[in-house]
Amino acid sequence: MRSIATKLTLAFLLVGLTGAILVAVIVQVRTRSAFNQFLLNREQQALVNSLVQYYQRSNSWQGVIRDLVETGLQDSFESNSRDLRRDWNRFVLVGPDGMIIFSPQVRQIGQQISARDLEKSLALVSDGETIGWLLLETGLRVWVPDAAETLFLRNLTAASLLSALVAVLLALALGSLLAYTLTRSLRELTEATVEIADGRLGKQVKVRTQDELGELAASFNKMSKDLERATQARRQMTADIAHDLRSPLSVLTGYSEALSDGKLVGDPEIYQILNQETRHLGRLIDDLRTLSLADSGELPLLLQPIAPAELLTRAANAHRVQADTCQITFTVDAEPGLPEIRVDVERMAQVLGNLLRNALRYTPQGGKIMLSARRVGEQICLAVSDNGVGITPQDLPYIFDRSYRGDQARQSVEGETGLGLAIVRSLVEAQGGVIEVESQVGSGSTFKVLFQSSGQTSAPLSR
Ligand code: ADP
């Protein structure tokens, strides 16, 4: 298989060669015919001059036939006598009265010339008086170049061939240069792809141009970086999940072994620990299952129109007690007359529940949490705001990543799996929504979930 570079070079060479040959042939043909015409005109003029001179000398056409037939007028022609001698029987001489004086076809002599032939004839003029007409049969003529003309034509052919050669060499040089530059980026991309296929992720190529190849290289670099990041995140997540699963498991194993060996006597506190760890394990497994279903697009969803205010009330009712326990002020505020949104009510309870649990977790005693719903353009925005600890700008871009925990020191907080926000995002996106976050350390965070409104206005909020 030939490389693209060879193919491109060959294509350029072929185009150059064809162009050069075409130009050379056209120049040759055109020059020959123009040259032929030029000589013909010159010879015609010479013949006309000679005939006019003959007439002026003899004052009539008397004897012109004899002179033409016997001497071929050669004495009269100073130049090109070679051709004219050959041409003498190729013209028709007509007197001023339109009578044919001389013609190669003897039987025409003495006859009147036809109007059509007269139109094609050249007038022989002496002292402003038309002394006759000359009809030339130029079409039949075959021009045979003499030595000087042959030399001229040979030089012309050589010049055409030389320019054709230069054109071919230029096409070859330009073709190979272009082919090399075009294929260099492709070669680099191929090598980088092979490296990635071999597991060396994150490989970057140089973006050399601003054209389609440059765009391809830039997209490749982005893809390579994303792939590296995703693979890194997946490895990290697997390690984290293994760790998260191991922690409650080792607690459960330790306690159960100690209980069965009789080293420990069961009491309510131990049973509560066992129950807590089992629930944590169950939550982890549920979260992983939800995520994997969302990833494969198989998350069962029952989309139905519902008033945003109703979603907020349900979520608030489920968490009000916990907020009261933590002495956190909990408010719900829904703009009146909001249109309904099409969502899965259970999944939305999970979304708002996760956001509320986080808000409760990261808001100190005496803080405030607000659940709100309002219209933003064509969309409905459900927001969970708190005035808690906030999220650092470094953590903010990653909080929706799986297993990402903002503050490593908080890893042991009960109920955390590090998958909460990843699940929230998957659930929101599966229902056609978008999730955004705004946060400032020390001031609090606002998580906004945006859905397209279904158009129908909902009933006012009942608290
Ligand atoms: P986790 O189970 O650790 O809470 P999440 O995915 O729910 O996992 O959250 C990821 C990280 O985002 C948390 O570890 C925390 O650092 C940060 N975070 C989420 N919600 C809030 C909030 N309301 N206030 C401050 N930080 C938050």
Count CA within 13 A, CB hemisphere, residue 153.
17
Index of the ligand 1 atom closest to the CA of residue 407: 16
362 lines ligand 1 (CB under 6 A): yes
**212 Cα–ligand 1 center, Å:** 42
Contact present, 160 and 27 (Cβ < 8 Å): yes
220 lines ligand 1 (CB under 6 A): no
The secondary structure of 424-456 as a DSSP string is HHHHHHHTT-EEEEEEETTTEEEEEEEEEEEEE
CA dihedral of 391, 392, 394, 395, whole degrees rounded to 10: -20
416 lines ligand 1 (CB under 6 A): yes
**403 Cα–ligand 1 center, Å:** 10
Index of the ligand 1 atom closest to the CA of residue 405: 14
CA dihedral of 102, 108, 110, 114, whole degrees rounded to 10: -100
Mutate to test the pocket of ligand 1, among 237, 421, 428, 436 (most ligand atoms within 8 A of CB): 421
**390 Cα–ligand 1 center, Å:** 9
- Distances from the Cα of 152 to the Cα of 2, 37, 149, 158, angstroms: 44, 16, 5, 10
367 lines ligand 1 (CB under 6 A): no
Index of the ligand 1 atom closest to the CA of residue 447: 23
**318 Cα–ligand 1 center, Å:** 20
**Lookup: tokens for 167:** 């054109």
Residues with Cβ within 8 Å of 412's Cβ and at least 6 positions away in sequence, in order, are none
**350 Cα–ligand 1 center, Å:** 15
Contact present, 382 and 312 (Cβ < 8 Å): yes
Flag residues of the chain having pLDDT under 50. Answer: 74-85, 140, 408-412, 460-463
The secondary structure of 67-127 as a DSSP string is IIIIITTTTT-SS-HHHHHHHGGGEEEE-TTSBEEE-SSGGGTTSBPPHHHHHHSEEEEET
Query: One-letter amino acid identity for 288?
Result: L
The closest alpha carbon to 462, from 288, 260, 314, belongs to: 314
Query: From atom 15 of ligand 1, which residue's Cα is the shortest distance away?
Result: 406
Contact present, 47 and 91 (Cβ < 8 Å): yes
Index of the ligand 1 atom closest to the CA of residue 384: 23
Give the angle 325-318-356 at the CA atoms, nearest 5°.
75
Q: What is the pLDDT of residue 458?
A: 54
Index of the ligand 1 atom closest to the CA of residue 410: 14
Index of the ligand 1 atom closest to the CA of residue 400: 6
The closest alpha carbon to 414, from 253, 284, 320, belongs to: 284
| pTM, 2 dp | 0.53
Q: Specify the DSSP class assigned to residue 89.
A: G
Mutate to test the pocket of ligand 1, among 358, 396, 411 (most ligand atoms within 8 A of CB): 358
Tokens 């997540």 appear where?
A: 237
Contact present, 422 and 401 (Cβ < 8 Å): yes
Query: From atom 12 of ligand 1, which residue's Cα is the shortest distance away?
Result: 399
Q: What is the pLDDT of residue 310?
A: 94
**Lookup: tokens for 25:** 């042939």
How far is Cα 419 from Cα 183, in angstroms, rounded to an integer?
A: 45
372 lines ligand 1 (CB under 6 A): no
Contact present, 235 and 242 (Cβ < 8 Å): no
**Lookup: tokens for 256:** 């159960």
407 lines ligand 1 (CB under 6 A): yes
Residues with Cβ within 8 Å of 38's Cβ and at least 6 positions away in sequence, in order, are none
Q: Give first-to-last CA distance, the chain, whole Å.
A: 76
132 lines ligand 1 (CB under 6 A): no
Mutate to test the pocket of ligand 1, among 402, 405, 428, 438 (most ligand atoms within 8 A of CB): 405
Contact present, 318 and 349 (Cβ < 8 Å): yes
Query: One-letter amino acid identity for 32?
Result: R
**Lookup: tokens for 12:** 């350029």
